[in-house]
Chain A
């Protein structure tokens, strides 16, 4: 526990000095990694208990679009728009989650229902092109450097915001991990009947973690939208985003605090690396390699990268102690 805390602190300290070290492109990557690491961590809040949602792209999309739309059409500050987007994401989570949990839609069926959800949000965004710009995307009205509009051309502002978002996501993860709710959720994930028999309100516990996960994901989407200043249905919602979330979180490791962060680090640098390597002439190949690597990760390291490393270290530690 404390070692994890220490490594998180070390990482945070490293993160604090990083922006000064590199070029703007580097900072841009770092901001994206932090934002997506937060989203993946939010997903892992559920995913670690076997509630595998393929619908989190929907929450990213809702979180990103709501404040942008409210800003452009009503001049409403994102300070209100972001909570509104989170509220809508929570509503969507409950509307989908309640019947699913009530009817005990679990495993593959849950994955399918949530997969449909993320596509529904994408299709809605595309269909409402009069308002959202459809697949052409949507650009929030620029306001220069403004706290009111939560827009900062200067990247370091968003770097700090993304860092805070990431720390928030990690604290939420830690909070759930350390509480008795985690044990209740482990019990639920293993045997819902047996959990209910000892007084656990299975429906409520599942809804609670879903709402928490959706809210944090929507916040991530909102920050991403504010930072990018351009929203596209394909890049902030839909199946592609949902799959990316699932694969990255699982590849990094959903049972460890920093697993999803490593997943973000890996997938984003990989995507960027392949893009630079192959350039625009060979876009499909980059995605294929990226997908294949992730599948290999999932097959050979079901605990994720961080989980596998930790296990290897734990296996080495007793030998070292015995050698003394």
Chain B
């Protein structure tokens, strides 16, 4: 459904993403891994419209979406989470998610309907859906869940999940990984999942792409990635 070709992003003299190409198939969970600074978040920023590509194309179901503004990409059915959660503290937890439901599709749903969808999304990720909960005082795990709930409330076809496991303990990681897995089975959402560690991600994803210094160095089955010499070098050499 998503075809990325020769995608590059240059910051001044620094090439953060270097001519990467890959395809995401309808209904799959694609893992995107690589050490810190390898260009994973930048790739997401390019797909989600937060950054303009320096070169290359991004096509969603055949239509070019590279360089479109972020809100327009959201309306086309691509939602993202932020690696470092960015909640709206002036709004309640429920309002955060209801706002995403209201604006996410631009179909002019009622406020009540937006709230209903927000409750659904909050239930799904396991956060309280009462109107009184504030975002202040939520822990790291809850904030990661809020990122997911907000993205899901926009009813995406393709979800870009950026390090949803970062800062979680082992049990929370398993839980979050199962949640991502269940999104596909229960809601038919296609997922690109970024993580800098392999860990539990490898259990869930169908395929994995490995980035290093902005370049794609591997694409294939998770089991193969674990034994690929370049991937092993990148991971053993740096962690």
Measuring CB to CB, which residues of chain A are less than 8 angstroms from any residue of chain B?
Answer: 180, 183-184, 186-187, 189-191, 193-203
With A183-B99, A184-B99, A193-B50 already in contact, the answer to whether A200 and B88 are too (CB < 8 A) is: no
**Is A199 a contact of B86 with CB atoms below 8 Å?**
no
- Complex CA–CA separation, A202 to B80 (angstroms): 17
Chosen A-B contacts, 26 in total, with CB atoms closer than 8 Å, are A180-B99, A180-B102, A180-B114, A183-B98, A183-B99, A184-B99, A186-B88, A187-B90, A193-B70, A196-B49, A196-B50, A196-B74, A197-B70, A197-B79, A197-B80, A197-B82, A197-B151, A198-B99, A198-B103, A198-B104, A198-B150, A198-B154, A199-B71, A199-B100, A199-B105, A199-B106
Report the separation of the CA atoms of residues A193 and B91 in the bound assembly, to the nearest whole angstrom: 16
Task: List the A side residues contacting B150 at CB < 8 Å.
Answer: 198
- Residue interface mask B37-71, A partner, CB < 8 A = 1: 00000000000111000000000000000000111
Contacts of B75 in A (CB 8 A): 199
Taken together as a complex, chains A and B put the C-alpha atoms of A183 and B103 apart, in Å, by 11
The answer for the CA separation of A197 and B88 in the assembled complex, in Å, is 12
Residues of A within 8 A of B98 (CB): 183
Determine the residue in chain B with the shortest Cβ distance to A191. Answer: B86
A189–B111 alpha-carbon span in the complex (Å): 21
Question: Binding site of A, secondary structure by majority: helix, strand, loop or mixed?
Answer: helix
Asked if B89 is at the interface (CB within 8 A of a chain A CB), the reply is: yes
Known pairs A197-B151, A198-B150; list 7 more (Cβ under 8 Å): A193-B50, A193-B70, A197-B50, A198-B100, A198-B103, A199-B104, A201-B72
Query: B121-159 toward A: CB 8 Å interface, digit per residue (1/0)?
Result: 000000000000000000000000000001101100000
B86 touches A186 (CB 8 A): no
Collect the chain B residues with CB atoms within 8 Å of residue A193's CB: 50, 70, 86
Q: How far is the CB of A204 from chain B (nearest CB, A)?
A: 9
Determine whether the beta carbon of B88 is less than 8 Å from that of A190: yes
Q: Does B95 contact A (CB under 8 A)?
A: yes
Chain B residues whose C-beta falls within 8 Å of the C-beta of A197 in the assembled complex: 48, 50, 70, 74, 79-80, 82, 151
* Total chain B interface residues with beta-carbon distance under 8 A: 33
| Nearest 8 CB-CB pairings of A with B | A196-B70, A198-B100, A199-B74, A199-B103, A194-B86, A199-B104, A186-B90, A187-B88
B80, closest chain A residue (CB): A197
How long is the Cα–Cα vector from A203 to B69 in the complex, in angstroms? 10
Given the complex of chains A and B, what is the CA–CA distance between A222 and B181 in angstroms?
Answer: 61
Cα A191 to Cα B147 with chains together (Å) = 14
Roughly how many angstroms separate A115 CA and B75 CA in the complex, as a whole number?
A: 36
Contact status B99-A190, CB under 8 Å: no
Looking at B70, B100, B151, the one whose CB has the most chain A CB atoms below 10 A away is: B70
Contact bitstring B99-121, A, C-beta under 8 A = 1, else 0:
11011111000010010000000
Complex alpha-carbon distance, A184 and B106, angstroms: 13
Evaluate contact between A199 and B154: CB separation under 8 angstroms: yes
CA of A31 to CA of B160 in the docked complex: distance in angstroms?
Answer: 56
Complex CA–CA separation, A189 to B104 (angstroms): 18
Instruction: For the complex, give the distance between the alpha carbons of A193 and B48 in Å.
Output: 10
Query: A183 to B50, Cβ gap below 8 A?
Result: no
Q: A186, A187, A189, A198 — which one has the most chain B CB atoms within 10 A of its CB? A: A198
Cβ-defined partner of A184 (8 Å) among B87, B103, B154: B103
Is B70 a contact partner of A183 (Cβ separation < 8 A)? no
A178 to B11: give the CA distance in the assembly, Å. Answer: 42
Residues of B within 8 A of A199 (CB): 71, 74-75, 100, 103-106, 154
Contacts of A201 in B (CB 8 A): 69, 71-72
Nearest chain-A residue to B48 (Cβ)?
A197
A187 contacts across to B, CB distance below 8 A: 88, 90-91, 99
Q: Provide the bound-state CA to CA distance between A199 and B97, in Å.
A: 12
**What's the minimum C-beta distance from A179 to chain B, rounded to whole angstroms?**
9
Residues of B within 8 A of A198 (CB): 74, 79, 99-100, 103-104, 150-151, 153-154
Nearest B residue to A189 via CB reads B90
Q: How far is the CA of A184 from the CA of B98 in the complex (A)?
A: 10
The CA-CA distance from A201 to B100 in the complex, in Å, is: 12
- Of all chain A residues, the one with the shortest Cβ separation from B155 is A199
What residues of A have a CB within 8 angstroms of the CB of B69 in the complex? 196, 201, 203
Nearest Cβ on chain A to B221's Cβ, whole angstroms: 31
- Expressed in whole angstroms, the Cα–Cα distance for A201 and B69 within the complex equals 9
CA distance A201 to B71 in the complex (A): 6
B71 near A183 with CB under 8 A, answer no
User: How far, in Å, is B135 (CB) from chain A's closest CB?
Assistant: 10
Name the CB-closest residue of A to B76.
A199
A202 near B103 with CB under 8 A, answer no
B71 vs chain A, min Cβ distance (A): 5
Complex CA–CA separation, A128 to B74 (angstroms) = 48
Taking the nearest CB of chain B, how far is it from the CB of A113, in angstroms?
22
CB distance from A243 to the nearest CB of B (A): 27
Most buried by A among B74, B75, B103, B106: B103
Given contacts A196-B71, A202-B71, contact A186 B91 (CB under 8 A): yes
